[in-house]
Amino acid sequence: MKKEDIELILEEGEGYLIEFKEKLSNIDKEMVAFANGSGGKILMGISDTGKIIGINVTNKLKSQIQDIANNCDPAINIVLEKIENILIVHVKSGQDKPYHCSSGFYIRVGPNAQKMNRNQIIEFFQAEGKIRFDELSNLKFEYDTHFSESKFDHFLSLSNISKIHDTATIMRNLGVAEKQEGRVIFNNTGILMFAKNLQDIYFHTAVTCALYKGSIKATILDRKEFNSDIVSNVDKTMLFLKQHIPVRYEFDGSPQRIEVPQIPYEALREAVINAIIHRDYFEKGANVMVEIFDDRIEISSPGGLVRGLESKDFGKKSVLRNPNIANLFQRIGYIEKMGTGIVRMQLLIKEAGLKPIGFSFTKFVTAKFFRQKNKERVIYKVTDRVTSKVTDEVTDRVTNNQKTIIELISKNIHITITELSELVGISTRKIKENIAKLKEKNVLKRIGTGKTGYWELIIEQEDADQSTVNAVSEKKVTYKVTKRVTDKVTDNQKAILELISKNPHITTTELSKFVGISTRKIKENTAKLKGKRILKRVGNNKTGYWEIISI
Protein backbone atom coordinates (compact mmCIF):
# COMPACT_ATOMS: atom_id res chain seq x y z
CA MET A 1 0.00 0.00 0.00
CA LYS A 2 0.99 3.62 -0.51
CA LYS A 3 0.49 6.62 1.76
CA GLU A 4 -2.18 7.89 -0.66
CA ASP A 5 -4.11 4.67 -0.06
CA ILE A 6 -3.96 5.27 3.69
CA GLU A 7 -5.34 8.79 3.23
CA LEU A 8 -8.25 7.46 1.15
CA ILE A 9 -9.05 4.82 3.81
CA LEU A 10 -8.98 7.48 6.54
CA GLU A 11 -11.46 9.58 4.55
CA GLU A 12 -13.87 6.64 4.20
CA GLY A 13 -13.51 5.51 7.83
CA GLU A 14 -14.00 2.09 9.42
CA GLY A 15 -16.19 -0.49 7.71
CA TYR A 16 -16.76 -4.17 7.06
CA LEU A 17 -13.20 -4.59 5.75
CA ILE A 18 -11.37 -1.88 7.75
CA GLU A 19 -10.60 -1.56 11.49
CA PHE A 20 -8.68 1.26 13.21
CA LYS A 21 -6.71 0.52 16.42
CA GLU A 22 -4.55 2.70 18.61
CA LYS A 23 -2.90 -0.21 20.43
CA LEU A 24 -2.66 -3.99 20.67
CA SER A 25 -5.55 -4.76 23.05
CA ASN A 26 -8.29 -7.10 21.71
CA ILE A 27 -6.65 -7.38 18.31
CA ASP A 28 -7.32 -11.15 18.40
CA LYS A 29 -11.10 -10.49 18.22
CA GLU A 30 -10.62 -8.36 15.09
CA MET A 31 -8.43 -11.00 13.45
CA VAL A 32 -10.95 -13.77 14.14
CA ALA A 33 -13.86 -11.64 12.87
CA PHE A 34 -12.05 -10.88 9.60
CA ALA A 35 -10.92 -14.50 9.15
CA ASN A 36 -14.50 -15.71 9.67
CA GLY A 37 -15.70 -13.22 7.07
CA SER A 38 -14.24 -11.86 3.85
CA GLY A 39 -10.92 -10.78 5.31
CA GLY A 40 -9.84 -7.21 6.06
CA LYS A 41 -7.18 -4.78 7.25
CA ILE A 42 -6.36 -3.62 10.78
CA LEU A 43 -4.60 -0.23 10.76
CA MET A 44 -2.60 0.20 13.98
CA GLY A 45 -1.74 3.73 15.05
CA ILE A 46 -5.13 5.17 14.01
CA SER A 47 -7.80 6.40 16.44
CA ASP A 48 -11.49 5.44 16.16
CA THR A 49 -12.16 8.87 14.66
CA GLY A 50 -9.63 8.26 11.87
CA LYS A 51 -6.85 10.44 13.26
CA ILE A 52 -3.23 9.31 12.80
CA ILE A 53 -1.68 8.86 16.25
CA GLY A 54 1.13 6.60 15.15
CA ILE A 55 2.67 3.58 16.81
CA ASN A 56 6.24 2.51 17.48
CA VAL A 57 6.69 -0.35 14.99
CA THR A 58 9.34 -2.66 16.45
CA ASN A 59 10.28 -6.26 15.81
CA LYS A 60 8.91 -7.07 19.26
CA LEU A 61 5.49 -5.64 18.30
CA LYS A 62 5.48 -7.59 15.03
CA SER A 63 6.40 -10.77 16.90
CA GLN A 64 3.59 -10.20 19.43
CA ILE A 65 1.01 -9.77 16.67
CA GLN A 66 2.22 -12.89 14.87
CA ASP A 67 2.01 -14.90 18.12
CA ILE A 68 -1.56 -13.70 18.69
CA ALA A 69 -2.52 -14.84 15.18
CA ASN A 70 -0.87 -18.23 15.70
CA ASN A 71 -2.64 -18.74 19.04
CA CYS A 72 -6.08 -18.42 17.45
CA ASP A 73 -7.73 -21.74 16.63
CA PRO A 74 -7.01 -22.55 13.89
CA ALA A 75 -4.03 -20.26 13.31
CA ILE A 76 -4.81 -17.19 11.21
CA ASN A 77 -2.77 -16.24 8.17
CA ILE A 78 -1.67 -12.59 8.36
CA VAL A 79 0.72 -10.27 6.53
CA LEU A 80 2.30 -7.22 8.25
CA GLU A 81 3.07 -4.00 6.37
CA LYS A 82 4.68 -0.80 7.75
CA ILE A 83 3.97 2.61 6.24
CA GLU A 84 5.81 5.30 8.23
CA ASN A 85 4.39 5.12 11.78
CA ILE A 86 1.39 2.96 10.86
CA LEU A 87 1.37 -0.85 10.97
CA ILE A 88 -1.15 -2.60 8.72
CA VAL A 89 -2.25 -6.14 9.59
CA HIS A 90 -3.66 -7.84 6.47
CA VAL A 91 -6.02 -10.68 7.45
CA LYS A 92 -7.13 -13.08 4.72
CA SER A 93 -10.52 -14.76 4.64
CA GLY A 94 -9.94 -18.09 6.35
CA GLN A 95 -9.96 -21.37 4.47
CA ASP A 96 -10.71 -23.42 7.61
CA LYS A 97 -13.60 -21.56 9.23
CA PRO A 98 -14.81 -21.06 11.88
CA TYR A 99 -11.96 -19.41 13.81
CA HIS A 100 -11.99 -18.45 17.47
CA CYS A 101 -9.76 -16.81 20.07
CA SER A 102 -9.64 -17.23 23.84
CA SER A 103 -12.77 -15.12 24.35
CA GLY A 104 -14.95 -16.83 21.73
CA PHE A 105 -16.12 -16.83 18.11
CA TYR A 106 -16.49 -13.47 16.34
CA ILE A 107 -17.92 -12.29 13.04
CA ARG A 108 -17.76 -8.92 11.32
CA VAL A 109 -21.03 -6.97 11.49
CA GLY A 110 -20.58 -3.64 9.72
CA PRO A 111 -17.56 -1.88 11.27
CA ASN A 112 -17.57 -4.01 14.43
CA ALA A 113 -16.42 -7.44 15.60
CA GLN A 114 -19.45 -9.11 17.18
CA LYS A 115 -19.31 -12.18 19.40
CA MET A 116 -21.47 -15.06 18.19
CA ASN A 117 -24.04 -16.60 20.50
CA ARG A 118 -24.76 -20.33 20.68
CA ASN A 119 -27.28 -20.40 17.83
CA GLN A 120 -25.09 -18.27 15.59
CA ILE A 121 -22.17 -20.63 16.21
CA ILE A 122 -24.30 -23.66 15.30
CA GLU A 123 -25.57 -21.95 12.13
CA PHE A 124 -22.03 -20.93 11.22
CA PHE A 125 -20.77 -24.49 11.57
CA GLN A 126 -23.66 -25.71 9.44
CA ALA A 127 -23.08 -23.09 6.76
CA GLU A 128 -19.40 -24.00 6.59
CA GLY A 129 -20.21 -27.69 6.19
CA LYS A 130 -18.54 -28.64 9.46
CA ILE A 131 -21.79 -30.26 10.59
CA ARG A 132 -23.67 -32.33 8.01
CA PHE A 133 -27.34 -33.08 8.54
CA ASP A 134 -27.13 -36.49 6.89
CA GLU A 135 -24.40 -37.63 9.32
CA LEU A 136 -26.15 -36.57 12.56
CA SER A 137 -27.81 -39.21 14.74
CA ASN A 138 -31.41 -38.88 15.89
CA LEU A 139 -32.39 -40.79 19.03
CA LYS A 140 -36.11 -40.23 18.37
CA PHE A 141 -35.99 -42.81 15.58
CA GLU A 142 -36.70 -46.24 17.07
CA TYR A 143 -35.71 -49.35 15.14
CA ASP A 144 -38.73 -51.40 16.21
CA THR A 145 -41.23 -48.57 15.71
CA HIS A 146 -40.08 -46.51 12.76
CA PHE A 147 -37.82 -48.69 10.59
CA SER A 148 -39.29 -50.19 7.41
CA GLU A 149 -37.82 -53.60 6.62
CA SER A 150 -39.59 -53.65 3.24
CA LYS A 151 -38.03 -50.34 2.17
CA PHE A 152 -34.63 -51.59 3.26
CA ASP A 153 -35.11 -54.83 1.29
CA HIS A 154 -36.20 -52.80 -1.73
CA PHE A 155 -33.00 -50.74 -1.43
CA LEU A 156 -30.87 -53.89 -1.25
CA SER A 157 -32.61 -55.23 -4.34
CA LEU A 158 -32.04 -52.03 -6.32
CA SER A 159 -28.39 -51.82 -5.26
CA ASN A 160 -27.70 -55.55 -5.83
CA ILE A 161 -26.54 -56.08 -2.24
CA SER A 162 -27.05 -59.62 -0.99
CA LYS A 163 -28.41 -60.06 2.53
CA ILE A 164 -25.69 -62.39 3.80
CA HIS A 165 -25.23 -60.31 6.97
CA ASP A 166 -27.81 -59.17 9.48
CA THR A 167 -29.61 -55.87 8.87
CA ALA A 168 -27.68 -53.93 11.53
CA THR A 169 -24.31 -54.96 10.04
CA ILE A 170 -25.33 -53.97 6.52
CA MET A 171 -26.64 -50.61 7.74
CA ARG A 172 -23.41 -49.97 9.61
CA ASN A 173 -21.40 -50.75 6.46
CA LEU A 174 -23.63 -48.38 4.49
CA GLY A 175 -22.97 -45.63 7.03
CA VAL A 176 -26.61 -45.13 8.05
CA ALA A 177 -26.67 -46.65 11.55
CA GLU A 178 -24.51 -48.06 14.31
CA LYS A 179 -25.05 -50.24 17.34
CA GLN A 180 -24.55 -48.68 20.77
CA GLU A 181 -25.16 -50.66 23.96
CA GLY A 182 -27.38 -53.11 22.11
CA ARG A 183 -29.47 -50.38 20.45
CA VAL A 184 -29.42 -49.50 16.73
CA ILE A 185 -28.85 -45.74 16.42
CA PHE A 186 -29.75 -44.23 13.03
CA ASN A 187 -28.29 -41.13 11.46
CA ASN A 188 -30.48 -38.88 9.33
CA THR A 189 -29.51 -40.62 6.09
CA GLY A 190 -30.94 -43.88 7.40
CA ILE A 191 -34.07 -42.10 8.61
CA LEU A 192 -34.66 -40.31 5.30
CA MET A 193 -34.20 -43.55 3.35
CA PHE A 194 -35.84 -46.21 5.52
CA ALA A 195 -38.52 -44.61 7.69
CA LYS A 196 -41.93 -46.25 7.54
CA ASN A 197 -43.37 -42.76 7.46
CA LEU A 198 -40.94 -39.86 7.45
CA GLN A 199 -43.71 -37.56 8.62
CA ASP A 200 -43.45 -39.20 12.07
CA ILE A 201 -39.94 -37.78 12.50
CA TYR A 202 -39.61 -34.72 10.24
CA PHE A 203 -42.15 -32.41 8.61
CA HIS A 204 -39.76 -30.34 6.50
CA THR A 205 -38.48 -33.27 4.43
CA ALA A 206 -41.60 -33.32 2.23
CA VAL A 207 -41.87 -32.54 -1.46
CA THR A 208 -44.77 -30.19 -2.18
CA CYS A 209 -46.24 -30.44 -5.69
CA ALA A 210 -48.71 -27.90 -7.06
CA LEU A 211 -50.52 -27.31 -10.34
CA TYR A 212 -51.60 -23.70 -10.92
CA LYS A 213 -54.01 -22.15 -13.34
CA GLY A 214 -52.18 -19.63 -15.50
CA SER A 215 -48.66 -18.35 -14.87
CA ILE A 216 -49.01 -17.04 -11.29
CA LYS A 217 -49.68 -18.60 -7.89
CA ALA A 218 -53.32 -17.60 -7.65
CA THR A 219 -55.55 -20.59 -8.37
CA ILE A 220 -54.40 -24.07 -7.32
CA LEU A 221 -55.86 -26.84 -9.49
CA ASP A 222 -54.10 -29.74 -7.79
CA ARG A 223 -51.78 -30.10 -4.81
CA LYS A 224 -50.00 -33.08 -3.28
CA GLU A 225 -47.42 -33.44 -0.53
CA PHE A 226 -45.18 -36.50 -0.31
CA ASN A 227 -43.23 -37.34 2.84
CA SER A 228 -42.94 -41.12 3.12
CA ASP A 229 -39.20 -41.48 2.42
CA ILE A 230 -36.95 -39.61 0.02
CA VAL A 231 -36.83 -42.40 -2.59
CA SER A 232 -40.64 -42.68 -2.68
CA ASN A 233 -40.79 -38.88 -2.75
CA VAL A 234 -38.92 -38.94 -6.07
CA ASP A 235 -41.18 -41.61 -7.58
CA LYS A 236 -44.45 -40.03 -6.43
CA THR A 237 -43.34 -36.57 -7.55
CA MET A 238 -42.62 -37.95 -11.02
CA LEU A 239 -46.06 -39.57 -11.09
CA PHE A 240 -47.60 -36.17 -10.27
CA LEU A 241 -45.63 -34.52 -13.07
CA LYS A 242 -46.61 -37.21 -15.57
CA GLN A 243 -50.27 -36.73 -14.68
CA HIS A 244 -50.12 -33.06 -15.63
CA ILE A 245 -47.65 -32.87 -18.53
CA PRO A 246 -49.15 -33.21 -22.03
CA VAL A 247 -47.69 -35.85 -24.32
CA ARG A 248 -47.77 -36.43 -28.05
CA TYR A 249 -47.47 -39.76 -29.78
CA GLU A 250 -45.22 -40.83 -32.60
CA PHE A 251 -45.89 -43.94 -34.63
CA ASP A 252 -43.00 -45.68 -36.39
CA GLY A 253 -44.81 -48.82 -37.52
CA SER A 254 -44.07 -50.85 -34.40
CA PRO A 255 -46.98 -52.24 -32.34
CA GLN A 256 -46.46 -49.67 -29.58
CA ARG A 257 -46.85 -45.93 -29.95
CA ILE A 258 -43.96 -43.74 -28.78
CA GLU A 259 -44.93 -41.32 -26.02
CA VAL A 260 -43.14 -37.96 -26.21
CA PRO A 261 -43.77 -35.69 -23.20
CA GLN A 262 -43.82 -31.91 -23.52
CA ILE A 263 -40.70 -31.80 -21.30
CA PRO A 264 -38.41 -34.87 -21.16
CA TYR A 265 -39.24 -36.91 -18.07
CA GLU A 266 -35.57 -37.75 -17.46
CA ALA A 267 -34.62 -34.06 -17.27
CA LEU A 268 -37.39 -33.39 -14.76
CA ARG A 269 -36.48 -36.49 -12.77
CA GLU A 270 -32.84 -35.37 -12.58
CA ALA A 271 -33.96 -31.98 -11.27
CA VAL A 272 -36.24 -33.56 -8.65
CA ILE A 273 -33.45 -35.88 -7.46
CA ASN A 274 -30.95 -33.01 -7.29
CA ALA A 275 -33.42 -30.92 -5.28
CA ILE A 276 -33.96 -33.73 -2.76
CA ILE A 277 -30.32 -34.81 -2.45
CA HIS A 278 -28.72 -31.36 -2.27
CA ARG A 279 -31.27 -29.40 -0.23
CA ASP A 280 -30.30 -27.87 3.11
CA TYR A 281 -32.07 -30.10 5.62
CA PHE A 282 -31.11 -27.74 8.46
CA GLU A 283 -33.62 -25.30 6.94
CA LYS A 284 -36.83 -26.46 8.59
CA GLY A 285 -39.11 -23.73 7.26
CA ALA A 286 -39.27 -24.84 3.63
CA ASN A 287 -39.91 -27.92 1.49
CA VAL A 288 -38.68 -28.92 -1.93
CA MET A 289 -41.23 -27.35 -4.29
CA VAL A 290 -42.39 -28.68 -7.67
CA GLU A 291 -44.71 -26.15 -9.29
CA ILE A 292 -46.46 -26.46 -12.64
CA PHE A 293 -47.61 -23.30 -14.42
CA ASP A 294 -49.08 -22.89 -17.90
CA ASP A 295 -45.77 -21.62 -19.27
CA ARG A 296 -43.16 -23.32 -17.07
CA ILE A 297 -42.30 -25.87 -14.40
CA GLU A 298 -40.20 -24.75 -11.43
CA ILE A 299 -38.33 -27.15 -9.14
CA SER A 300 -36.85 -25.43 -6.08
CA SER A 301 -34.52 -26.71 -3.38
CA PRO A 302 -34.09 -24.87 -0.04
CA GLY A 303 -30.66 -23.69 1.03
CA GLY A 304 -29.08 -22.03 -1.98
CA LEU A 305 -25.73 -23.12 -3.34
CA VAL A 306 -23.57 -25.24 -1.06
CA ARG A 307 -20.48 -23.53 0.33
CA GLY A 308 -17.54 -23.85 -2.04
CA LEU A 309 -19.68 -23.71 -5.17
CA GLU A 310 -20.22 -20.47 -7.06
CA SER A 311 -22.95 -19.89 -9.62
CA LYS A 312 -20.40 -19.77 -12.46
CA ASP A 313 -19.27 -23.30 -11.52
CA PHE A 314 -22.80 -24.73 -11.23
CA GLY A 315 -23.02 -27.84 -13.39
CA LYS A 316 -19.25 -27.92 -13.88
CA LYS A 317 -18.02 -28.79 -10.39
CA SER A 318 -19.52 -31.18 -7.87
CA VAL A 319 -19.70 -30.14 -4.20
CA LEU A 320 -21.92 -32.32 -2.02
CA ARG A 321 -23.95 -30.93 0.86
CA ASN A 322 -25.22 -34.40 1.84
CA PRO A 323 -22.60 -36.92 0.66
CA ASN A 324 -24.15 -39.90 2.51
CA ILE A 325 -27.50 -39.40 0.79
CA ALA A 326 -25.84 -38.93 -2.60
CA ASN A 327 -23.85 -42.14 -2.10
CA LEU A 328 -26.99 -44.22 -1.44
CA PHE A 329 -28.83 -42.70 -4.40
CA GLN A 330 -25.89 -43.60 -6.60
CA ARG A 331 -25.95 -47.17 -5.28
CA ILE A 332 -29.57 -47.65 -6.37
CA GLY A 333 -28.99 -46.08 -9.79
CA TYR A 334 -30.99 -42.90 -9.20
CA ILE A 335 -27.92 -40.84 -10.04
CA GLU A 336 -25.01 -41.75 -12.26
CA LYS A 337 -21.54 -40.22 -12.13
CA MET A 338 -21.35 -37.40 -9.59
CA GLY A 339 -21.46 -33.95 -11.14
CA THR A 340 -23.02 -34.96 -14.49
CA GLY A 341 -26.70 -34.41 -13.71
CA ILE A 342 -26.97 -30.73 -14.71
CA VAL A 343 -25.18 -31.30 -18.02
CA ARG A 344 -27.44 -34.28 -18.76
CA MET A 345 -30.55 -32.18 -18.04
CA GLN A 346 -29.34 -29.43 -20.36
CA LEU A 347 -28.60 -31.89 -23.17
CA LEU A 348 -32.03 -33.53 -22.88
CA ILE A 349 -33.75 -30.15 -23.08
CA LYS A 350 -31.61 -29.12 -26.05
CA GLU A 351 -32.37 -32.38 -27.88
CA ALA A 352 -36.09 -31.78 -27.29
CA GLY A 353 -35.79 -28.40 -29.01
CA LEU A 354 -36.88 -26.49 -25.91
CA LYS A 355 -35.68 -23.21 -24.44
CA PRO A 356 -32.63 -23.72 -22.13
CA ILE A 357 -33.30 -24.34 -18.45
CA GLY A 358 -33.21 -21.21 -16.33
CA PHE A 359 -31.31 -21.55 -13.04
CA SER A 360 -31.54 -19.04 -10.18
CA PHE A 361 -29.61 -18.99 -6.91
CA THR A 362 -31.02 -17.21 -3.87
CA LYS A 363 -31.96 -18.93 -0.62
CA PHE A 364 -33.29 -21.57 -3.01
CA VAL A 365 -31.74 -23.21 -6.03
CA THR A 366 -34.45 -23.17 -8.69
CA ALA A 367 -34.53 -24.93 -12.06
CA LYS A 368 -37.06 -23.42 -14.45
CA PHE A 369 -38.24 -25.57 -17.38
CA PHE A 370 -40.06 -23.64 -20.09
CA ARG A 371 -43.12 -25.25 -21.66
CA GLN A 372 -44.17 -24.98 -25.28
CA LYS A 373 -46.37 -22.01 -26.00
CA ASN A 374 -50.02 -22.81 -26.41
CA LYS A 375 -49.99 -21.78 -30.06
CA GLU A 376 -47.46 -24.49 -30.89
CA ARG A 377 -49.16 -27.41 -32.51
CA VAL A 378 -48.66 -30.98 -31.37
CA ILE A 379 -47.60 -33.07 -34.37
CA TYR A 380 -48.04 -36.82 -34.64
CA LYS A 381 -45.63 -38.67 -36.90
CA VAL A 382 -47.30 -41.47 -38.81
CA THR A 383 -45.13 -43.59 -41.11
CA ASP A 384 -46.23 -45.22 -44.35
CA ARG A 385 -46.53 -48.56 -42.54
CA VAL A 386 -49.01 -47.15 -40.08
CA THR A 387 -50.87 -45.18 -42.74
CA SER A 388 -51.34 -48.35 -44.77
CA LYS A 389 -53.19 -49.90 -41.83
CA VAL A 390 -55.92 -47.27 -42.03
CA THR A 391 -58.64 -48.29 -44.46
CA ASP A 392 -59.99 -45.99 -47.15
CA GLU A 393 -63.23 -45.85 -45.22
CA VAL A 394 -61.60 -44.39 -42.10
CA THR A 395 -59.34 -42.09 -44.10
CA ASP A 396 -62.46 -40.63 -45.63
CA ARG A 397 -64.19 -40.44 -42.26
CA VAL A 398 -61.47 -38.88 -40.06
CA THR A 399 -59.24 -35.88 -40.89
CA ASN A 400 -55.77 -35.28 -39.42
CA ASN A 401 -57.13 -32.75 -36.92
CA GLN A 402 -59.80 -35.23 -35.90
CA LYS A 403 -57.18 -37.98 -35.44
CA THR A 404 -55.26 -35.63 -33.14
CA ILE A 405 -58.44 -34.85 -31.19
CA ILE A 406 -59.10 -38.59 -30.81
CA GLU A 407 -55.55 -39.21 -29.55
CA LEU A 408 -55.83 -36.42 -26.97
CA ILE A 409 -59.22 -37.65 -25.76
CA SER A 410 -57.94 -41.22 -25.49
CA LYS A 411 -55.25 -39.86 -23.15
CA ASN A 412 -57.59 -37.64 -21.11
CA ILE A 413 -61.34 -38.25 -21.34
CA HIS A 414 -61.98 -35.09 -19.26
CA ILE A 415 -60.04 -32.75 -21.59
CA THR A 416 -61.82 -29.44 -22.30
CA ILE A 417 -62.58 -27.70 -25.60
CA THR A 418 -60.10 -24.94 -24.68
CA GLU A 419 -57.34 -27.45 -23.93
CA LEU A 420 -58.01 -29.26 -27.21
CA SER A 421 -57.80 -25.93 -29.03
CA GLU A 422 -54.45 -25.10 -27.44
CA LEU A 423 -52.92 -28.53 -28.10
CA VAL A 424 -54.25 -29.06 -31.63
CA GLY A 425 -53.50 -25.48 -32.63
CA ILE A 426 -56.89 -24.49 -34.02
CA SER A 427 -59.69 -22.28 -32.69
CA THR A 428 -62.30 -23.49 -30.23
CA ARG A 429 -64.91 -22.99 -32.97
CA LYS A 430 -62.98 -25.40 -35.24
CA ILE A 431 -62.64 -27.89 -32.37
CA LYS A 432 -66.41 -27.81 -31.85
CA GLU A 433 -66.99 -28.29 -35.60
CA ASN A 434 -64.65 -31.31 -35.70
CA ILE A 435 -66.22 -32.82 -32.58
CA ALA A 436 -69.66 -32.42 -34.14
CA LYS A 437 -68.45 -34.27 -37.24
CA LEU A 438 -66.93 -37.05 -35.11
CA LYS A 439 -70.26 -37.41 -33.32
CA GLU A 440 -72.06 -37.58 -36.68
CA LYS A 441 -69.64 -40.31 -37.80
CA ASN A 442 -70.44 -42.21 -34.60
CA VAL A 443 -66.77 -42.10 -33.50
CA LEU A 444 -67.22 -39.88 -30.43
CA LYS A 445 -69.91 -39.05 -27.92
CA ARG A 446 -70.23 -36.89 -24.83
CA ILE A 447 -71.39 -38.42 -21.55
CA GLY A 448 -72.85 -36.06 -18.93
CA THR A 449 -72.80 -32.27 -18.62
CA GLY A 450 -69.98 -29.88 -19.51
CA LYS A 451 -68.45 -29.66 -16.04
CA THR A 452 -68.83 -33.21 -14.81
CA GLY A 453 -69.06 -35.13 -18.07
CA TYR A 454 -66.44 -36.88 -20.16
CA TRP A 455 -65.73 -38.05 -23.70
CA GLU A 456 -66.21 -41.60 -24.93
CA LEU A 457 -64.66 -42.99 -28.13
CA ILE A 458 -66.86 -45.40 -30.08
CA ILE A 459 -65.31 -48.01 -32.35
CA GLU A 460 -67.95 -50.13 -34.05
CA GLN A 461 -66.76 -53.52 -35.29
CA GLU A 462 -69.20 -53.54 -38.22
CA ASP A 463 -67.63 -50.33 -39.50
CA ALA A 464 -63.97 -51.29 -39.15
CA ASP A 465 -61.71 -54.29 -38.72
CA GLN A 466 -59.19 -54.59 -35.87
CA SER A 467 -56.42 -52.80 -37.76
CA THR A 468 -58.78 -49.87 -38.24
CA VAL A 469 -59.51 -49.84 -34.54
CA ASN A 470 -55.78 -49.76 -33.75
CA ALA A 471 -55.15 -46.93 -36.21
CA VAL A 472 -57.86 -44.66 -34.86
CA SER A 473 -57.44 -45.16 -31.11
CA GLU A 474 -54.49 -47.57 -30.80
CA LYS A 475 -56.65 -49.95 -28.85
CA LYS A 476 -60.23 -49.99 -27.68
CA VAL A 477 -60.74 -47.43 -24.95
CA THR A 478 -62.21 -49.43 -22.08
CA TYR A 479 -61.15 -47.50 -19.01
CA LYS A 480 -64.26 -45.46 -18.46
CA VAL A 481 -64.30 -45.61 -14.67
CA THR A 482 -67.65 -44.45 -13.34
CA LYS A 483 -68.65 -43.44 -9.83
CA ARG A 484 -69.87 -46.99 -9.30
CA VAL A 485 -66.30 -48.23 -9.82
CA THR A 486 -64.84 -45.49 -7.61
CA ASP A 487 -67.07 -46.63 -4.78
CA LYS A 488 -65.97 -50.25 -5.22
CA VAL A 489 -62.19 -49.84 -4.96
CA THR A 490 -59.67 -48.86 -2.27
CA ASP A 491 -57.21 -45.97 -2.56
CA ASN A 492 -54.39 -48.35 -3.53
CA GLN A 493 -56.63 -49.94 -6.16
CA LYS A 494 -57.51 -46.48 -7.52
CA ALA A 495 -53.78 -45.74 -7.83
CA ILE A 496 -53.24 -49.07 -9.61
CA LEU A 497 -56.08 -48.33 -12.07
CA GLU A 498 -54.73 -44.85 -12.72
CA LEU A 499 -51.24 -46.17 -13.47
CA ILE A 500 -52.60 -48.93 -15.71
CA SER A 501 -54.80 -46.48 -17.62
CA LYS A 502 -51.64 -44.52 -18.45
CA ASN A 503 -49.50 -47.57 -19.22
CA PRO A 504 -51.29 -50.88 -19.90
CA HIS A 505 -47.89 -52.63 -20.10
CA ILE A 506 -46.77 -51.56 -16.61
CA THR A 507 -45.22 -54.41 -14.60
CA THR A 508 -46.06 -55.59 -11.09
CA THR A 509 -42.64 -54.37 -9.91
CA GLU A 510 -43.24 -50.92 -11.39
CA LEU A 511 -46.69 -50.76 -9.78
CA SER A 512 -45.11 -51.68 -6.44
CA LYS A 513 -42.55 -48.90 -6.81
CA PHE A 514 -45.06 -46.17 -7.68
CA VAL A 515 -47.88 -47.15 -5.31
CA GLY A 516 -45.44 -47.75 -2.45
CA ILE A 517 -46.56 -51.25 -1.42
CA SER A 518 -44.99 -54.68 -1.86
CA THR A 519 -45.35 -56.75 -5.05
CA ARG A 520 -47.34 -59.27 -3.01
CA LYS A 521 -49.85 -56.55 -2.08
CA ILE A 522 -49.99 -55.43 -5.73
CA LYS A 523 -50.84 -58.99 -6.79
CA GLU A 524 -53.52 -59.22 -4.08
CA ASN A 525 -55.09 -55.94 -5.22
CA THR A 526 -55.03 -56.81 -8.93
CA ALA A 527 -56.64 -60.16 -8.07
CA LYS A 528 -59.42 -58.31 -6.24
CA LEU A 529 -59.91 -55.95 -9.19
CA LYS A 530 -60.18 -58.98 -11.47
CA GLY A 531 -62.72 -60.49 -9.08
CA LYS A 532 -64.75 -57.28 -9.25
CA ARG A 533 -64.65 -57.51 -13.07
CA ILE A 534 -62.90 -54.14 -13.28
CA LEU A 535 -59.54 -55.40 -14.54
CA LYS A 536 -58.32 -58.22 -16.72
CA ARG A 537 -54.99 -59.43 -18.04
CA VAL A 538 -54.66 -59.97 -21.79
CA GLY A 539 -51.81 -62.28 -22.83
CA ASN A 540 -48.91 -63.58 -20.75
CA ASN A 541 -46.77 -61.74 -18.23
CA LYS A 542 -44.00 -60.84 -20.67
CA THR A 543 -45.90 -59.73 -23.78
CA GLY A 544 -49.40 -59.15 -22.45
CA TYR A 545 -51.07 -56.04 -21.09
CA TRP A 546 -53.71 -54.88 -18.63
CA GLU A 547 -57.20 -53.89 -19.70
CA ILE A 548 -59.60 -51.90 -17.53
CA ILE A 549 -63.14 -53.08 -18.22
CA SER A 550 -65.88 -50.53 -18.84
CA ILE A 551 -68.87 -50.67 -16.50
The pLDDT assigned to 549 comes to 78
Taking CB atoms within 8 Å and a gap of at least 24, the contacts of 211-217 are: 211/244, 211/292, 212/291, 212/292, 212/293, 212/294, 213/294, 214/293, 214/294, 215/293, 215/294, 215/295, 215/296, 216/293, 217/291
How far, in Å, CA of 302 to CA of 433, rounded?
A: 49
pLDDT for 364: 92
Q: How far apart are CA 230 and CA 238, in angstroms?
A: 13
Does CATH place domain 483-548 in 1.10.10.10? yes
pLDDT recorded at residue 471: 36
- Mind listing the pLDDT tens digit for each residue in 434-465? 999 988 888 888 877 666 677 887 754 333 33
Burial class from Cβ neighbours inside 10 Å (0-12, 13-18, 19+) for residue 527 reads: exposed
Would the CATH topology of 384-473 be identical to that of 483-548? Answer: yes
Residues 312-337 pLDDT 10s: 768 767 778 888 899 899 999 898 76
Under a CB-based contact definition with an 8 Å cutoff, are residues 189 and 176 in contact? yes
Parallel, antiparallel, or unpaired for β 78-83 and 18-21? unpaired
- Evaluate if residue 391 carries a pLDDT over 60: no
pLDDT digits (tens, 9 = 90+) for 501-544: 777 778 888 788 777 788 889 999 999 988 888 888 887 776 67
| Mean pLDDT in residue range 197-215 | 92
Is the full-model pTM beyond 0.75?
no
Burial of residue 95, with CB atoms counted within 10 A of its CB: 0-12 exposed, 13-18 middle, 19 or more buried: exposed
Residue spans of the domains in the chain: they are 3-127, 139-200, 207-370, 384-473, 483-548
Q: What is the pLDDT of residues 25-34, one digit of tens each?
A: 899 999 999 9
For the segment 484-506, the average pLDDT, to the nearest whole number, is 75
pLDDT in the model for residue 97? 86
Q: How confident is the model at residue 311 (pLDDT cuts 50, 70, 90)?
A: confident
Identify which of 69, 67, 64, 43 has the alpha carbon closest to the alpha carbon of residue 55.
Answer: 43
pLDDT band at residue 297, thresholds of 50, 70 and 90? very high
pLDDT for the residue numbered 277? 93
Residue 505 Rama label (left phi>0; alpha psi -120 to 50; beta): alpha
The pLDDT of residue 395? 44
Split at pLDDT 50, 70, 90, the class of 550 is low
Is 80 exceeded by the pLDDT of residue 410?
A: no
pLDDT tier at 389 (50, 70, 90 boundaries)?
very low
Instruction: Kindly report the CATH class assigned to 3-127.
Output: alpha beta
Comparison of pLDDT for 339 and 383, the residue scoring more: 339
| Residues 142-170, mean pLDDT to the nearest whole number | 89
Q: What DSSP string runs through 321-371?
A: SSHHHHHHHHHTTSS-STT-HHHHHHHHHHHTTPPPPEEEESSEEEEEEEP
pLDDT in the model for residue 547: 84
What pLDDT is attached to residue 481?
42
pLDDT above 70 coverage of the chain, percent = 84
3-state secondary structure 167-186: HHHHHHHHCCEEEECCEEEE
- Give the type of residue at 322: N
Split at pLDDT 50, 70, 90, the class of 366 is very high
User: Among 1.10.3720.10, 1.10.10.10, 2.90.10.10, 1.10.1740.10, what is the CATH number of 384-473?
Assistant: 1.10.10.10
In this prediction, residue 254 has a pLDDT band, given cuts at 50, 70 and 90, of low
pLDDT band at 78 (very low <50, low <70, confident <90, very high): very high
Give a three-class secondary structure readout of 15-59. ECCEEEECCCCCHHHHHHHHHHCCCEEEEECECCCCCECCCCCCH
**Is pLDDT above 80 for 126?**
no
pLDDT of res. 443: 83
Which pLDDT band holds residue 495 (cuts at 50, 70, 90)?
A: confident
pLDDT tops 70 at residue 259? yes
Mean pLDDT, residues 119-148 taken together: 82
pLDDT of residue 147: 93
Residue 384 confidence (pLDDT): 35
| DSSP-derived secondary structure for 115-153 | E--HHHHHHHHHHTTSS-GGG-B-TT--HHHHB-HHHHH
User: Mean pLDDT of all residues in the chain?
Assistant: 82
Domain 207-370, CATH = 3.30.565.60
